[in-house]
Amino acid sequence: MTTYSQPGGKRQKVKERADAGDYFHGIEKIEYNNAASATDTLNYRYYNATERVHAKTMEDWLKYSLSLTEFRNASAEYPKISNHRPWDDNSHSIDNYKRCIRAFFDLCAKLGIKYWTALDSDLLQIADSWDENKTNWDDIVEYVHELSQRYHVKLLWLAPDLQMHPRYTTGAITNNDANVFAQSASQIKKCLEVTHRLNGECFMIWPHREGYDAIFQSDVARELKLFVKLLKITAEYKDRLNSKIQLLIMPYCERKLKEIINYYMWDITSCLYFLKNYGLDRQYKVCSPPGHHMYMANVYNMLGGVSVSNQFDMSNNKNVTLMMKSIIDQNCIPPGGINLKVSVPRDTELRDLVVCYVKYIDTIAKGLRIAANIVAEQIFSKHVQQRYITYYSGFGSRVISSDVTMEECEEYYKKNQLHEAASTKREHFDFVFQRYLDTCDHI
């Protein structure tokens, strides 16, 4: 097995410019203050990292991570901000990447967030030369390792960028050109090695462009075999590294259906079927946005993490609370935690940038508090149990626990034809749920 140089060896330490200080100077570390006023937007009103809620600390339940991708690029639609950032000269130099990374770590420290995520292209410009990439990676890995120790911020997951390079226009993993497949595999290999060296907890594969364009010129069966092969050799290489990294995969769930219907993983269900069909469900877990996709991944015990972007309506307290209730009901924090992929308007100043993250962190923490109260009082769990009570005894229990034939179903129906359907009491319980949301400040 190939050996890798460890951070802190003979390489000369990176020197920052003499005037390098706190890039968010003038903004204090965000603290918890449950009496914060409406205009005090640089305090958490609900997020208290060390407070125990439903037998775990809030930081354990939430396991927040910040995305370097959105921090650097503002958004996918407008990839560069219009306001000048003191750390970014918009070049692809190693020094500029280092300044951006350090500013990002400054932000994590201000917010009290202990995890971060990134694409490999957020850390350096991926070159076409293998030797140049190796040298640059060694430099960046050492620098990030030093920052991690200084700021006490840990890599949660790293993902290879299999979208932006022109070679991936028609796909990376499922490309019709074997050379492109080899290049994408090499990029994934290096990215996995970097994750291992930085003690990352997870490794993400995000199939940006894996799907067919025109069916009349596509060998879909072959492309699926390529997809499977790449996922399998990734898992095998992780094992050869003796790494305990959790492998994650992110299907497309937030795009419009007509834009992604030709993708091989266009929602959670297609992704879960793919993994199960090819025996990959033991190696990979699935990341998803909040909502239906997350609930389905939880049901199959396959939820690897939650990705919260601007497309998720943070003003909808009900959906935020349901997201956190789903995690509490599982009694298991997904390894990929809650990743904040927050984009801001291009004219956003530094203070407002921090406020944006405070809003997301605090709103989800509020949802956790409400969800914990709902679970503790058991009103909804008892209601659900009552709704399905016919499956807890008699014929219904046999349907769940043993084999029941069609003939037996018919016989049971003949004897129980006079049956009135019970009301779901939807309006009542919807109002009860709203009452929980309204009384959050009293929790």
pLDDT in tens, 347-384: 788 999 999 999 999 999 999 999 999 999 999 999 99
Give the closest residue to 364 by CA, choosing from 338, 326, 332, 342.
338
Residue 392: predicted pLDDT: 92
CB 269 within 8 A of CB 318: no
Residue 389: predicted pLDDT: 92
Q: Assess whether 270 and 411 both reside in one domain.
A: no
Chosen domain end from 321, 340, 367: 367
- Residue 22 inside a domain? The answer is no
Q: Assess whether 54 and 84 both reside in one domain.
A: yes
Residue 353: predicted pLDDT: 94
Residue 4: predicted pLDDT: 37
**Positive or negative: CA dihedral 354, 357, 363, 368:** negative
Q: Assess whether 363 and 385 both reside in one domain.
A: no
Chosen domain end from 316, 335, 367: 367
- Residue 64 inside a domain? The answer is yes
Total of domains in the chain: 2
Residue 420: predicted pLDDT: 79
pLDDT in tens, 272-282: 999 999 999 99
Chosen domain end from 311, 339, 367: 367
Name the stretches of the chain with pLDDT < 70: 1-20, 74-83, 253-261, 441-443
Token couple for 107: 């932000």
- Residue 34 inside a domain? The answer is no
- Residue 212 inside a domain? The answer is yes
Q: Assess whether 353 and 290 both reside in one domain.
A: yes
Average pLDDT over the chain, rounded to an integer: 88
Token couple for 169: 């226009």
CA distance 156 to 128: 27
- Residue 8 inside a domain? The answer is no
Q: Assess whether 72 and 139 both reside in one domain.
A: yes
- Residue 91 inside a domain? The answer is yes
Q: Assess whether 203 and 350 both reside in one domain.
A: yes
Q: Assess whether 246 and 179 both reside in one domain.
A: yes
pLDDT in tens, 74-108: 654 445 555 678 899 888 899 999 999 999 999 99
Residue range(s) defining the domain that contains residue 83: 43-367
Residue 74: predicted pLDDT: 65
Token couple for 5: 């140089």
Residue 255: predicted pLDDT: 59
Q: Assess whether 358 and 388 both reside in one domain.
A: no
Q: Give Cα separations from 60 to 53, 115, 370 (angstroms).
A: 10, 12, 16
- Residue 316 inside a domain? The answer is yes
Q: Give Cα separations from 37 to 40, 45, 356, 370 (angstroms).
A: 5, 9, 17, 20
- Residue 14 inside a domain? The answer is no
What's the CATH number where 233 sits?
Answer: 3.20.20.150
Q: Assess whether 320 and 401 both reside in one domain.
A: no
Q: Assess whether 320 and 387 both reside in one domain.
A: no
Q: Assess whether 175 and 279 both reside in one domain.
A: yes
CA distance 192 to 267: 25
Q: Assess whether 434 and 305 both reside in one domain.
A: no
